[in-house]
Chains A and B, each alone.
Chain A
Amino acid sequence: MANKKRGLGKNLGRIKGFSIQFLPFSEIKALNSDQRIKKILGIILDNNILILQGRLTASEEARLIGDTMAMIGHIQSFKGIELAVISGNGKEGFFSKMGKGIANVLAGGDFSAITIIGPASIVKEMKRNPKKIELLLNK
């Protein structure tokens, strides 16, 4: 038992060089799309995994991807991001309740959703299904 505990601690000790930051939606609610993306990318470039309450609009998500691409090759060791959104209703929130889904997506928000964004240099993969997101980290 003691060995098991020691082993577990040893592995955890190896994960260094990043932190997890939680951002309530109220922090970006008043910002325009440019400011939201700038804020999010600023957090990611500081080697943080961001957990955002709610979600961005579809067009903001696309812009986030576009701006991320524009940074690759210009910022040292930046390879892009891993991104996943999970809805609080346990289903594929965006499409399962279409009317509500579109309204939320167009307006932004959807407080039942959680958005996770991490730098690809830290997050190897986000395995996702409608009920959970698994983060696989780089060694």
Chain B
Amino acid sequence: MEIKIFKNFFKRIFSNLFKNKREVKLGFYGPPNAGKTSLANRICKDFTGQEIGTVSKIPHETRKVQFKEKVEISYKGKKMVFKMIDTPGIATKIDYENFMKYKLSKKEAKERAKEATQGVIESIKWLDDMDLVVVVLDATENPYNQVNITIIGNLVARKIPVLIVANKIDLKKSDIKKIEAAFPEYDVVGISAKFGDNLEEFYESIFRLSKKIS
């Protein structure tokens, strides 16, 4: 009996130690061009000095899942280690002709479209592997896009904690209240990944949400 109590005691201590030290898989999800990579870059650069991927005005710049491992984020004396997972934007349609508006050749546009469709499939597959997800939305766009609802619905079904980020608050057209009204059950943090505005509140929310990881 006493041996069993001791065993349980040590097991609890070690599992808690392990839980605090392990890498939290932090995913960045959202529609194309919302600023997922810009935000992931901002965080990675602040804490590792390196970026995770390239950004572009052309949609679907990120067409493969990108990682940055062992990113230690320190905030107000607290530290956590994250595996940052930047995913391709999820869309319901991809038309190569849209890429040609950005002066890509037909061949380049077709190739980009092909890779982008694969990217969407990859993003969806990765939903199962996340511990915590940041859904990045463009605060200048209508939040009632079915893609946003589908992503969040899938995270809820998987019991994965979600933080909604309203990006691009530096732009006049941005409307964070519209996003808050669309997703009243969630924490919504308005930021500008481009200028690094309001990242303190973002880190605060990430640390708070990480306690909900099952």
Q: Cα distance A70–B117 when bound, in Å?
A: 7
Min distance, Cβ B11 to any Cβ of chain A, angstroms = 33
Would you call A85 an interface residue if the criterion is a C-beta within 8 Å of the partner chain's C-beta atoms? yes
| Interface 9-residue window, one of A7-15, A34-42, A60-68 | A60-68
Min distance, Cβ A131 to any Cβ of chain B, angstroms = 10
Q: Cα distance A65–B110 when bound, in Å?
A: 19
A65 proximity list for chain B (CB < 8 A): 90-92, 120, 124, 147, 150
Which of B110, B146, B156 is close to A84, meaning CB atoms less than 8 Å apart?
Answer: B146
B118 proximity list for chain A (CB < 8 A): 69
Tell whether A83 pairs with B157 under 8 Å between CB atoms, given A69-B117, A95-B184. Answer: no
- For B122-163 the 0/1 string (1 means CB < 8 A from A) is 001101000000000000001011110111111011000000
Which of B91, B117, B142, B153 is close to A128, meaning CB atoms less than 8 Å apart?
Answer: B142
B185 proximity list for chain A (CB < 8 A): 95, 98
- For A90-119 the 0/1 string (1 means CB < 8 A from B) is 001011101000100110000000000000
Contact A85 B149 (CB under 8 A): yes
Contact B144 A130 (CB under 8 A): yes
Determine the residue in chain A with the shortest Cβ distance to B119: A69
Total chain A interface residues with beta-carbon distance under 8 A: 34
Min distance, Cβ B160 to any Cβ of chain A, angstroms = 12
Would you call B73 an interface residue if the criterion is a C-beta within 8 Å of the partner chain's C-beta atoms? no
Contact A102 B156 (CB under 8 A): yes
Contact B144 A68 (CB under 8 A): no
Determine the residue in chain A with the shortest Cβ distance to B178: A129
Which of A59, A79, A83 is close to B146, meaning CB atoms less than 8 Å apart?
Answer: A83
B157 proximity list for chain A (CB < 8 A): 57-59, 102, 105-106
Determine the residue in chain B with the shortest Cβ distance to A79: B95
Which of B93, B120, B156 is close to A81, meaning CB atoms less than 8 Å apart?
Answer: B93
Tell whether A69 pairs with B153 under 8 Å between CB atoms, given A95-B184, A127-B142, A128-B144. Answer: no
B95 proximity list for chain A (CB < 8 A): 79-80, 120
Tell whether A66 pairs with B153 under 8 Å between CB atoms, given A80-B93, A83-B92, A120-B92. Answer: no
With a 10 A CB-CB cut-off, give which of A85, A95, A105 has the most chain B CB atoms.
Answer: A95
Contact A73 B92 (CB under 8 A): no
Rank and list the top 6 A-B pairs by shortest CB-CB distance, nearest first.
A80-B93, A58-B153, A120-B93, A69-B117, A61-B150, A79-B95
Residue contacts A-B, CB under 8 angstroms, 26 given: A58-B153, A61-B153, A61-B154, A62-B124, A62-B127, A65-B92, A65-B120, A65-B147, A66-B125, A69-B121, A72-B117, A73-B110, A73-B113, A81-B92, A92-B184, A95-B186, A98-B185, A102-B157, A105-B157, A120-B95, A126-B146, A127-B142, A128-B142, A128-B144, A128-B146, A130-B144
| Residues of A participating in the B interface, judged by any CB pair closer than 8 Å | 57-59, 61-63, 65-66, 68-70, 72-73, 79-85, 92, 94-96, 98, 102, 105-106, 120, 126-130
15 further A-B contacts with Cβ under 8 Å, apart from A73-B110, A80-B92, are: A58-B153, A58-B156, A58-B157, A62-B124, A62-B127, A62-B151, A65-B147, A80-B91, A84-B146, A92-B144, A92-B149, A94-B149, A95-B183, A95-B186, A105-B157
| Residues of B participating in the A interface, judged by any CB pair closer than 8 Å | 90-95, 110, 113-114, 117-118, 120-121, 124-125, 127, 142, 144-147, 149-154, 156-157, 182-186
